[in-house]
A and B are shown apart, each in its own frame.
Chain A
Amino acid sequence: MEEPRILLEVTNLKKHFPIRKGVFKKIVAYVKAVDGVSFVIRAGETLGLVGESGCGKSTVGRMIMGAYRPTAGSILFQPPNGEPAVDLATIDSAHMRNLRPHIQMVFQDPFASLNPRMTVRQILSEPLVVNKVAHGRALEDRVRELMELVGLQVQHLNRYPHAFSGGQRQRISFARALALYPKLLVADEPTSALDVSVQAQIVNLGLDIQDRLGLAYLLISHDLGLIRHFSKNVVVMYVGRVMEQGPAEQLFGRPRHPYTEALMSNVPSARSGQVGNKIILRGEPADPINPPPGCPFHPRCLYAQDICKQVVPGLDEVGPGHRAACHFSATLDLTGCDALGCAI
């Protein structure tokens, strides 16, 4: 089967935030929030970006949205109308505005991301009016179409966000993001603020929309279960660096990096009798200002050797499309989901 065309190609992306101190705001250090991340998103597919808080996963999303300018690297976006690819890392804001409709975002907190003083109709109309996509009758039709697309009732169009539950608000966020027929949706923890039963509704909505519209997702989450349910390819980040990346099936079935293994074993299982094979990591995630030398994960790693403290492992290919940044990825026999029986 022919693979879908490449929509977004991120190469060696870096973002270093300067830390300034003193009267002259001298730069004393850098937070290496993202330090060399590369991946490809193809049309209609989902890339899952997973990691703990502070690993830089949201920063990657923001750079793609153009909220931050990368320190280095490129973000090549292929516009749908056959124009040549554009590098979002260096694009000027006027051009970015033209591309904006193609890349949209859904945020974590549906209580903070909707303007409380606007009705749903205004919220959904705004992107259409600002981008001069529709007006008058066509605008009204599109707004109604969006409401139906995300499973909301059109008679609620004149209500304000506070009249909706968390799940419904997240549906409004989706509708707003879909208004301009985007090709890529960046979803940053889209279900984390919701209750369990409502999360399932949003997961189903996300799957339906993707199938119907052929959207690509960049799904940013700490929830391995969600990532596994959606993603074709997965990137595991730790302190700004990629620890492992590859097709979801291989990565979850047989992880090649000890960090992935530990993350998977730490997901609490909703079935009893699964306790006991948990890997309790020592310590806490490394400080991105002052990451440890060598492999950033070595102080917490169960398998660390002397070499891990000195040499930064390269992100080497361990299988087709599957890469891991571990000196021992070839020799370690790590337990994946199948053997672990974990509920993710």
Chain B
Amino acid sequence: MIPILEVENLHVHFFLDEGVVRAVDGVSFSVEAGKTLGIVGESGSGKSVIGQSILRIVPPPGRIVNGRILLQLDGDNGEQERLDLTGLDPYGRRARSIRGRDVAMIFQEPMNSFSPVHTVGSQIIEALSLHGDVSGAEARNRAIEMLARVGIPQPELRIDAYPHELSGGMRQRAMIAMALVCRPRILIADEPTTALDVTIQAQIIDLLQSLQEEFGMAIIFISHNLGVISEISDDVLVVYFGRAMESAPVDVIFEQPLHPYTRALLRSIPSIDTPVRTHLDTIEGTLPDPFANIPGCPFFGRCLECEGKTVCRDEPYELTLVGERHYIACPRICVAA
């Protein structure tokens, strides 16, 4: 199957007075229609910037300096066309028509994504009328329908509510409705459940999964929570310090991870087998200096498996295919082997 979105060797750098922060430093992945890619990483790993790059909303002084983001589009004469989003003017007509219609995004804090002075309904209707030729009444009906679909009770009343009148879980549902009302083919979800309680989080994940079954959109789910990622993803990409460390089908990542970072991350969460009150495995040390340009592996120094081999620190390495859909970037495995 042809992937609906392909990201190749993406580099996004932030040019600050103090130096250059390589927020995304050579990340590649692809997503197929109807599938979910989970992007997992700690804070500062660049996972959110990856999502922003696809929509071309990386805040300045950040810039895409290298790489391609190929979006599969249906051309005018019925042929498939592949559009490189990195070549678009982020403020241009083309980019604006893609945002919301082909690629939509939901965020962690729905209060910040809605305008507080407009009703929820008017913002959903705005999205519809920007991208489609619909009458006012038709748009309102479709907005009500969508609100009902995401599980908001009494949608014909709630459509006229202001965002602050809804609870956190309801606001997140309304934001999903706004994102999906134009039936985008890709939904980017950046930590959409992090601010929610566990029972509400379970509801939202369940909702996203059933909407995906119905609409067939691809989801790029960005989170720091390994548990959430394991539940929703088909494939998982592990990022660290702007680099892709490992990517594989979800079972492989959680059952047979190969990268020392993935393994360390998984060991640090208590599981059912962890006896209570025992020490958890930690990842010692801290992230490297964000301004550093590290030729080799950024996990060097915190990695327990490289035994201080300088090959890891100094040698550039490539993301290497080691199994079916299983890529890994570890100099110890990729270069030495």
Contacts and interface: CB of A to CB of B under 8 A. Distances in A.
Interface stretch (A70-78, A97-105, A179-187, A267-275): A267-275
Given A229-B274, A271-B254, A344-B272, A200 B199 contact: no
B281 interface: yes
Contact of A207 (B43, B170, B254, B279): B279
Contacts of A228: 270, 276
Interface stretch (B219-227, B289-297, B313-321): B219-227
Interface in A249-279: 262-263, 265-275, 278
Interface in B54-99: none
Contacts of B203: 280-281
B212 to A, nearest CB: 14
Interface stretch (A11-19, A83-91, A112-120, A191-199): A191-199
Contact of A343 (B224, B271, B277): B271
B27 to A, nearest CB: 19
B250 A272 contact: yes
A197 B205 CA distance: 24
Interface residues of B, number: 42
Given A204-B282, A271-B230, A344-B272, A222 B265 contact: no
B280 A281 contact: no
A225 interface: yes
30 contacts: A52-B198, A53-B197, A196-B225, A198-B282, A204-B282, A225-B269, A225-B270, A228-B276, A229-B270, A229-B276, A248-B276, A263-B198, A265-B202, A266-B198, A268-B201, A268-B227, A268-B228, A269-B227, A271-B254, A272-B251, A272-B255, A273-B251, A275-B231, A278-B206, A280-B202, A280-B206, A281-B202, A284-B170, A285-B199, A342-B272
Interface of B: 42-43, 167, 169-170, 197-203, 205-206, 224-228, 230-231, 250-251, 254-255, 264-266, 268-272, 274, 276-277, 279-283, 286
Interface of A: 52-53, 165, 167, 195-201, 203-204, 207, 222, 224-226, 228-230, 248, 262-263, 265-275, 278, 280-281, 284-285, 300, 337, 341-344
7 nearest CB pairs, A to B: A268-B227, A197-B283, A200-B280, A52-B197, A200-B268, A266-B202, A195-B42
Given A195-B224, A271-B254, A343-B272, 17 more contacts: A52-B199, A53-B197, A195-B43, A196-B226, A197-B268, A200-B268, A200-B280, A230-B276, A262-B199, A265-B202, A268-B205, A270-B269, A272-B255, A278-B206, A300-B199, A341-B272, A344-B272
